[in-house]
Structure 1
Amino acid sequence: MKKNIVITGTSRGIGFELVKILAAQGHQILALSRNESPVAQLKLPNVTAISCDLGEAIHLKKAVDYVKQNWETVDVLINNAGKFLKQDFSQTKMSEVKKVYEVNVFSVFDLTHQLLPFTNENSHIVTISSMGGVQGSVKFPGLAAYSSSKAAIITMTELLAEEYKENGPSFNVLALGAVQTEMLAEAFPGFEAPVTAEEMGQYIADFSLNGHKYYNGKLMQVSNSTP
């Protein structure tokens, strides 16, 4: 069964791979990213790429309006967009911390809130977190803003699953370990991850289509390495 799928953070890395994988299966994709060019250049007939800064209300409205005008339902929402910051705590500026939370927490809250009216009991909302946001996991210096923001969306997922468990969509969160992406290279220069963006994209694609049949309100730790 073909589904209507919204994916954020699609200009590179895992998000870009998700678009290709799910589009190849015939699903209708709305790809949201500040830079729509990489996806637009794929020229896939069942993919619409919209330039969208998730922190801007007018941009979010453009995405929601597309759904309202073209789709009756949103079957899958993958909150994949993320902003990274690695900096000594003593040197971190609050303005930079707010930017991290704007993308990693507030935009997830806002987009999910605005798309909920288009979901139903069979819809699945998947949010991408990080092992750094999991309580008790190994922590790394300089990631106070990033990892704490990723912890926030884990708790948000658990709360939304509880609130909508009677007749709403399913909510699950994936805490990823090291994946070979530009963000990983920025976080841990020289570290070679055991998983490629394409491989992780395949896992997330499969989970987004089927995971809600088995899980709701769950944190899944998707990692085989430290970091």
Structure 2
Amino acid sequence: MKNIIITGTSRGIGFELAKLFADQGHNVLALSRNKQPIAALKHEKIHAFSFDLENGKDLDTVADFVKSQWQQVDILIHNAGLLINKPFSQLTTKDFEKVYQVNVFGVAELTRRILPYLVKGSHVIAISSMGGIQGSLKFPGLAAYSSSKGAVLTLIELLAEEYKETGIAFNALALGAVQTEMLEEAFPGYEAPLTALEMARYIKDFAETGQKFYQGKVLQVSSSTP
């Protein structure tokens, strides 16, 4: 039985991930701004908090929970993401700040808060996007989102190097198209080749075993364009 933190669990991949891990008997801390969908499952293995990555008090609450209830975190999955789809000429500094606050700064701060409870063999995973891969096909309207996803990939590589002596693994998955609400926001009407559940199953397996094979790596998980 493992202790697992997942962000962005109100819908899509994060929601499915929380269910998969909990159904297998693991303890899951499910974090999202809207906790109602996951809380409605009333799963005895899922602890759901209303959580905002931009709120320092919410981060304190998570750290306090881990300290008092678990004392150890085996898997941390940064799945939460914010997408703003606008032509570059209409993007404001506040738009960029909002996207980066969730997709980059929030990942860094939550990792920092949880770091004291990670142990040898723990696995930290950032769910990124093919849009953040240098040299990949880019799409209009996603300047803030895709550039933030590129930034978090570099962050994961740096954390892996800085903490390589601890035995904690840091990896990132750059996902291609998955049929989620966020995909619809980015590419209205596009039909992805994978469902949220299918991708969640892949991520779950990687979270449990990937640290044995990878450290500081960015893996491209995509069978389509976008």
2:180 aligned partner = 181
Correspondence 1:1-227 to 2 at 5 A: 2-227=1-226
Aligned residues: 226
TM-score after normalising by structure 1: 0.99
Q: Is the 8 A contact 1:89 1:142 kept in 2?
A: yes
**How big is each residue's C-alpha offset from its partner over 1:8-66, in whole Å with a ceiling of 9 and x where there is no partner?**
00000000000011111100000000011111100000110000011110111111111
SS for the counterpart of 1:122 is strand
In 2: Cα distance, 1:63 partner to 1:35 partner? 15
Residue type matched to 2:136 in 1? S
**How big is each residue's C-alpha offset from its partner over 1:86-141, in whole Å with a ceiling of 9 and x where there is no partner?**
11111111111111000000000000011000001110000000000000100001
How far is the alpha carbon of 1:75 from its aligned partner?
A: 0.2
In 2: Cα distance, 1:49 partner to 1:186 partner? 25
Question: Taking every aligned residue pair, what percent have the same amino acid on both sides?
Answer: 60
Structure 1: segments with no counterpart, 5+ residues: none
Structure 2: segments with no counterpart, 5+ residues: none
Residue type matched to 2:8 in 1? G
How far is the alpha carbon of 1:168 from its aligned partner?
A: 3.9
In 1: Cα distance, 2:167 partner to 2:89 partner? 43
In 2: Cα distance, 1:59 partner to 1:72 partner? 18
Residue type matched to 2:54 in 1? G
Residue type matched to 1:101 in 2? Y
Residue type matched to 1:8 in 2? T
SS for the counterpart of 1:123 is strand
How far is the alpha carbon of 1:142 from its aligned partner?
A: 1.0
TM-score after normalising by structure 2: 0.99
In 2: Cα distance, 1:181 partner to 1:39 partner? 16
How far is the alpha carbon of 1:78 from its aligned partner?
A: 0.2
